[in-house]
Amino acid sequence: MSAFTLEDLFTIMRECAGEEESVDLADTAALQEFAELGYDSLALMEALSRVERAYDVELPEETLGEALTPAAFVDAVNAALAARTPAVEAAG
């Protein structure tokens, strides 16, 4: 499976919480905190759950508290994907 991208995250965020017209989910938003972008903890929990299901990956609960920006969230997902890949390939 390919890497998880900012566009993947933004698509999921739009589905979870919608998108206000004032929110610009461009690459420049990657370093802004989710709260600054208008997303609350409930939207982030839903996004985390969707990512886990869609990418068949398990993220630690700390991800929500530590990944305060979209870029950090994407990094956490990609780290989890990278950590599970050898085990998945060995089993296949």
Digit-coded pLDDT (tens) for 8-23: 998 898 887 766 544 5
Between CA 70 and CA 84 the distance in angstroms is 21
Q: Which residues contact 51 (CB under 8 A, 6 or more apart)?
A: 4, 9, 12, 57, 59, 77
Give the domain ranges of the chain. Answer: 6-91
For domain 6-91, the CATH architecture is: Orthogonal Bundle (1.10)
The confidence band for 49, taking pLDDT boundaries of 50, 70 and 90, is very high
What's the confidence (pLDDT) of residue 10? 87
The pLDDT of 44-70, averaged and rounded, is 91
Helices (H), the chain: 6-17, 34-37, 41-55, 62-66, 70-91
| pTM value > 0.85 | no
What's the confidence (pLDDT) of residue 13? 87
What's the confidence (pLDDT) of residue 27? 62
Q: Which residues contact 87 (CB under 8 A, 6 or more apart)?
A: none
